[in-house]
Amino acid sequence: MTIRHHRAVGAFAAAGALALALTACGSGSDGGDAAETVSPEDISAALEEGGDLLVWAWEPTLDKVVEDFEAEYPNVNVELANVGTGNDHYVALQNAISAGSGVPDVAQMEYYALPQFSIGGSLADLAPLGASELDGTYSPGPWGAVTDGDAVYGLPMDSGPMALFYNAKTFEDAGVEVPATWDEFVTAAEKIHAFDKNTYITADNGDAGFATSMIWQAGGHPFEVSGTDVTVNLADEGSAKFADMWQQLLDDDLVADVPAWSDEWFQGLGSGEIAALVTGAWMPANLESGAAPASGDWRVAPMPQWTEGSNETAENGGSALSVTEASTKKALAYGFLEYANAGDGVATRLEGGNFPATLADLEDEKFLAEESEYFGGQKINEVLSASATGVVPGWQYLPYQVYANSVFPDTVGQAYTGSTSLSDGLAAWQDSIVKYGNEQGFTVGE
Amino acid sequence: MSNVLMTAPTVRPKKAPPRLRNRRSSHARPTRSILLTVLTALIGIYALIPLVWLLINATKTQPDLFSSFGLWFSGDFALWDNIVGVLTYDGGVFGRWFLNTLMYVVLGAGGATLLALLGGYGLAKFDFPGKRAVFAVVIGAVAVPGTALAVPTFLMFANMGLTNTPWSVIIPSLISPFGLYLMWTFAADAVPDEIMEAARLDGASEARTFFQVCLPMMAPGIVTVLLFTVVATWNNYFLPLIMLRDPSWYPLTLGLNAWNAQATTAGGEAIFNLVIAGSLLTILPLIVAFLLLQRYWQSGLAAGSVKE
Amino acid sequence: MLTPLVKERPHLTTLASPPAVPKTAGRMRLRTRWTGWGFVGPFMAVFALVFLAPIAYSLWLSLFQTQLVGGTTFVGLDNYARVLADPQFWDGTGRVALFLLVQVPVMLGISLLVALAIDSGRLYGRDFFRLAIFLPYAVPGVVAALMWGFMYGERFGLVGNFNDLFGTSIPDPLSSALVLPAIGNIVTWEFVGYNMLIFYSALRVVPTSLYEAAEIDGAGPWRVITAIKLPAIRGALVVATIFSIIGSFQLFNEPSILQPLSPNYISTHYTPNLYAYSLSFSGQQYNYSATVAIVMGVLTMIVAYVVQLRGMRKEA
């Protein structure tokens, strides 16, 4: 009896393997359906007719958006599931796609991860559904991240134009001016650490998102992607600029090597021992809840510049909502996307602390005039919105950035342990990226 | 106590069942040693410090958590507030996770114990074709790292439509190779062949022999296997992480991890105080179960010594 | 399948020899040859589903290569050749071998000493210690990581507090080469009580007659330990050792949970199991990952088997 059972299971397992092989083949191909255009009326009709939508996202403000959406379209039933944050979410999505079952209709996609799923053919092109009409609705950084030529693979949900968040009290105590350029930043780092050996200007123990954003701001284009042709150059001018500057801080032990988001990190932010962060505009809400003891001490300044007086910035983090290719209700799903990211849902999410990707909101007088209590009454949105206008255009992520970021610590991270330099680390990262890409069937040049 | 654990096979002399040491009544109680107690206490402190940390920090508010010395109380005593926070946050989802965990434990650990009991008894008391192969196959399979099998298992379960259902957590929990081994060794020792023969001569069916004659003799072993499978199911983390996507089916471990990860997202609210208080609530039932089950081990020991 | 992930280290025991099959294979038994399957069948059926089928599936997967671009091709044994020549695989394997040589003896040594102390009857509060030292086994890995992550913090954690108080400069265990010992410490913390209980339970069944004989001979406590207790529980020692060897080879939970806190020291190929995991979950290299898992399983079986042979031979 057991023996028979074994056989049955074996046959079944083989069937499963075949399924994997088939889906893998499918995802390798283009995946684009014949573009049949759907009119706004069709979308409205789908919303009226209703149905069930499965949405995978961890963005907390979506709870309220879904509630309002269902009130407005009573025939639509949205099931919002948080299947994990960041990588856990992508693993679950990748697994569902491989298995060919349980794939959600709508999925949250961080900008850096989006190309991996769009090139794999897992995301639906929204242009035929009317998304091309939204060109000009969003700031250039996020819009560039969700589009590939004429195709639109998601609607931006929030954005992360970078700025300098700093603890004014620590800066004052140490007698340090707020740096406007990276040279000044290095000097300020020295002074702050000299002032108190437990205090650092910032914390960084090797973060792929931060490093790529810094290279982006410095004008680097380390990744260039055209279909399955990829060019990697992590030694270009922008990358070298970043590596040389940041290397000075590492050499003199001027940044705390505390991992971001650890309790130690929050503790340092709350105590003033981590005096500043160069990061995305979504940071204020996290500071308020995670570094409450420092309330009133923090301020926001423009991101330090490579050339004094310019306004060149980059995006860090942020995510979009995408419709999956496997969804059988693309029109309905797109209706939800439009509501959440271009319609009434935007205001709801901004109230919840999201930083907008929509130009209308970035330029809205009321939004700009908001005074943040945590930031001592500063009108922080003025600074953050200004950063959104300065995002350097033309940046691209790899079509397998999730994997690339996962091996960042193995390579560039070694520079933070002192066993290599940042530029050598970047070279090692490039080697891993090229090797993996070629193994996976891309044509990767250097 | 749990005399089951010691059933490491070679311990038992093959000829006669060993006489259990009779609680030292036969020889003088040794004098107690302060030095030995102090040395053991060092290990005890080592084991308990992290738990003390958990207990102390469960009494702190979110801001105090990061601004105070970890091994002493500080600021407001917020234990009750934190517990209320844990139980009410996000619409009281913690309670749901607790019930899920309970269900996984009852069905998973209960089923695992039952299967191990039947299997162990069968291996110990019957000869059948393929018995050697069973042993070889079980050993070989457990040496392959399970984490690496997660994806194949997921894909299989997805094909069967089991993912994102409680079954995807319960079914894999049903197998405890360690439990099978324990029951095997225990049944071999605790159930005398003569009694089984006698029952059969009386005309009892195999099922009846098992349930009415042998089962009571294996009770202490069952309790011990149950203890280990309960711990394993209660702490189960990795497979639910792969299998479940709907938070309303999460067990506590997965829920706590989701809360912990919440601070790492833009706009996410840091609730480490709830994570810590929730962790405390998560391990409390297990500790209580340990204490309660210990009594059964005591009786198990008594039962074991009677069998002579 | 879950078992390796949870803090049950269990499978190990299965490697010990099965209890001697009772010698009396009577006529009754012959008549009921197939009855045994009635009892073992349910276990084996589920076992086949959750252990054997995924392994068979992995064996199948290991013969193919799937690319993000280009699909799936049959590659025969290429993946195996690649594993054997993969420096990252051997880096991880070397690390767990080192871990095994240091952590396992330390942990089992402490467990044994505590078991002997508790068994000696010379302790105050014996029952309290037995339970207290066993408690960490009940703590879920997620919670354990939270606690130890805090305690290891150099700047703001307990290590930092300690340095401030005593003016020492212990480096942060998570951002230095100390990370392997730091992981060893967590594993030791989790499993000392568990192994202690195995040893203690074994000590409980040492036949009284042996002690009585020793008393008559006037043997001291050390002599009793070395001449009676240790030989008597050799079986338990071998079982616990084999357990711990498999546990070391499958080391995954602790490094993976600490990885976010120490990404530069805990690489994606820190242990073979972590490597297999990263390959399939970050890199979607399911085929290669399955191959790594199978090679690791075979290596583990070989080492455990050798240890078992040695352990049993000494005994004979």
A240-250 pLDDT, tens digit per residue, is 999 999 999 99
Neighbours of chain B (3+ CB pairs under 8 A): A, C
DSSP A173-185: HHT-PPPSBHHHH
Lowest-pLDDT range of A89-103, A160-174, A398-412, B26-40: B26-40
pLDDT greater than 50 at residue A5: no
Q: Measured between beta carbons, which residues in chain A are less than 8 angstroms from residue B62?
A: 289, 292
Most C CBs within 10 Å, among B64, B71, B142, to test the C interface = B142
State which residue of chain A sits closest to C68, comparing Cα positions.
A440
Question: Tokens 């200004």, residue?
Answer: A386
Nearest chain C CA: its distance from B84 CA (Å): 20
The pLDDT assigned to B303 comes to 39
Minimum-distance CB partner of C71 among A24, A262, A406: A24
CA distances from B278 to B58, B257, C107 (A): 8, 10, 30
Contact C68 A2 (CB under 8 A): no
How many C-beta atoms surround the C-beta of residue B306 within 10 A?
9
Which range of residues forms the domain containing residue A147? 34-159+317-362
Residues 197-216 of A with CB under 8 A from C: 198, 205-206
Domain locations along chain C = 86-315
**Can you give the pLDDT at residue C259?**
83
Rounded Cα distance between C313 and C316, Å, is: 5
* Confidence at residue B228, expressed as pLDDT on a 0 to 100 scale: 80
- Note whether C283 contacts A: Cβ–Cβ < 8 A: yes
In this prediction, residues A232-243 reach a mean pLDDT of 96
- Partner-chain contact A58 B265, CB within 8 Å: yes
What is the reported pLDDT for B264? 65
Helix, strand, coil percentages for chain A (3-state, nearest 5): 50, 15, 35
DSSP-derived 3-state class of residue A325: coil
A128 and A178 together in one domain: no
Query: Is residue C162 less than 8 Å (CB to CB) from chain B?
Result: no
Residue type, C15: L
- Predicted confidence at residue B23, as pLDDT, reads 43
* Predicted confidence (pLDDT) per residue in A117-129, tens digit: 998 889 999 999 9
CB C267 within 8 A of CB A429: no
Mean pLDDT calculated for residue range A25-33:
37
Domain match, A338 and A395 both: no
Given a contact cutoff of 8 angstroms between Cβ atoms, the answer to whether C298 and C59 are in contact is no
Model confidence, pTM: 0.81
**Exposed / middle / buried, residue A74 (Cβ in 10 Å: 0-12, 13-18, 19+):** exposed
Choose between A39 and A374: higher pLDDT: A374
Residue from C261, A296, A292, A171 nearest B66 by CA: A292
Is pLDDT above 80 for C244? yes
- From B155's Cα to the closest Cα of chain A, the distance in A is 5
- In which band, very low, low, confident or very high, does the pLDDT at A442 lie, cut at 50, 70 and 90? very high
For residue C96, give Cα distances in angstroms to C19, C24, C238, C296, C305.
Answer: 31, 44, 19, 11, 17
- And the tokens for B298? 């005591």
* pLDDT, average across residues A20-49: 60
d(CA C156, CA C162) in angstroms, rounded, equals: 10
H or E, element range at C150: helix C141-151
CB contact (8 A) between residue B266 and residue A56: no
Domain ranges of chain B: 33-77, 90-306
pLDDT for B156: 84
pLDDT at residue number C155: 58
Residue ranges for chain B with pLDDT beneath 70: 1-29, 66-67, 142-143, 145-148, 263-269, 295-308
Q: Are A428 and A420 in contact (CB under 8 A)?
A: yes
Residue tagged 């959750």 (tokens): C50
How many residues are there in chain A? 446
C144 vs A377, more confident: A377
Which residues in A lie closer than 8 A to residue C265 (C-beta atoms)? 417
Instruction: Give me the pLDDT at residue A10, please.
Output: 33
| Residues of chain C contacting residue A399, judged by C-beta atoms under 8 Å apart | 68
Mean pLDDT of the region A384-407: 92
What is the spatial distance between Cα A147 and Cα A144, in angstroms, rounded to a whole number? 5
Considering the domain architecture, whether residues A151 and A173 belong to the same structural domain is answered as no
Contacts (Cβ under 8 Å, ≥6 apart) of B49: B71, C151
Contact C2 B146 (CB under 8 A): yes
Q: Which chains touch A (3 or more CB pairs under 8 A)?
A: B, C
In a domain, A29, yes or no: no
Helix residue ranges per DSSP H, A130-256: 140-146, 168-174, 182-195, 208-217, 237-251
- Overall domain count for chain A: 2
Q: Tell me how many helices (H) and strands (E) chain A has.
A: 20, 15
Domain with A55 in it: what CATH number?
3.40.190.10
**pLDDT value at position C270?**
93
B234 Cβ contact list (under 8 Å, min separation 6): B101, B105, B109, B252, B285, B286, C138, C140
Q: Alpha-carbon Rg of chain B, whole angstroms? A: 24
Contact check, Cβ <8 Å, B155/A285: no
Take residue C293 and report the two structure tokens written for it. 């898992």
Are A106 and A176 members of one domain? no
Assess C146–B contact: CB distance below 8 Å, yes or no. Answer: yes
Pairing of strands A229-232, A443-445: parallel
Contacts for B12-20 with beta carbons within 8 Å, 24 or more apart?
A: B12/B189, B12/C19, B12/C205, B13/C207, B14/C20, B17/B189, B17/B307, B17/B308, B18/C205, B18/C206, B18/C207, B19/B308, B19/C207, B19/C208, B19/C209, B20/B301, B20/B304, B20/B305, B20/B308, B20/C204, B20/C205, B20/C208
Q: Which two tokens stand for residue C132?
A: 């207290």
Residue pair B273/B62 in contact by the 8 Å Cβ criterion: yes
- Distance separating alpha carbons of residues A214 and A203, to the nearest angstrom: 15
Asked if the C-beta of A55 comes within 8 angstroms of chain C's C-beta atoms, the answer is no
* Residue C203 near residue C233 (C-beta atoms within 8 A): yes
Q: What are phi and psi of B193, to 5 degrees?
A: -60, -35
CA A426 vs CA A15, A400, A440: distances in Å: 42, 17, 21
A243 and A324 both lie in a single domain? no
Task: State the Cα–Cα distance between residues B221 and B190, nearest whole angstrom.
Answer: 9
Q: Are B43 and C240 in contact (CB under 8 A)?
A: no
The string of pLDDT tens digits covering residues A159-205 is 999 999 999 999 999 999 999 999 999 999 999 999 999 899 999 98
Of C85 and B288, the structure prediction assigns the larger pLDDT to C85
CATH pick for C86-315 out of 3.40.50.12160, 1.10.10.350, 2.60.300.12, 1.10.3720.10: 1.10.3720.10
Residue environment code for A375-398, b if the CB has 16+ CB neighbours within 10 A, otherwise e: beebbbbebbbbbbebbbeebbbb
Q: Which CATH class is domain B90-306?
A: mainly alpha
Region for residue C275 given its phi and psi (left: phi exceeds 0; alpha: psi -120 to 50; beta: otherwise): alpha
The distance of A323 to chain B (nearest Cα, Å) reads 18
The pair of structure tokens assigned to B269 is: 């609210």
Using CA atoms, how far apart are residues C60 and C62, in angstroms rounded to an integer?
5
The yes-or-no verdict on residue A99 having pLDDT over 90 is no
Yes or no: say if C143 and C151 are a contact pair by the CB < 8 Å rule. Answer: no
Q: Does residue A4 lie in a domain region?
A: no
More confident residue, A167 or C203: A167
C-beta atoms surrounding C94 within 10 Å: 11
* Spatial separation of the C-alpha atoms in residues C13 and B176, rounded to whole Å: 11
**For residue B108, which of C8, C254, A82 has the smallest C-alpha distance?**
C8
Residues A86-102 have a mean pLDDT of: 83
State mean pLDDT over A123-140: 92
Mean pLDDT, residues C245-253: 84
| Cα separation of the two ends of chain B | 17
Of B61 and A407, the structure prediction assigns the larger pLDDT to: A407
Q: Are residues A341 and A381 in the same domain?
A: no
Angle (CA) B145-B147-B148 rounded to 5° is 75
C64 and A25: CB-CB below 8 Å? no
Tell whether the model's pLDDT for residue A312 goes beyond 90: yes
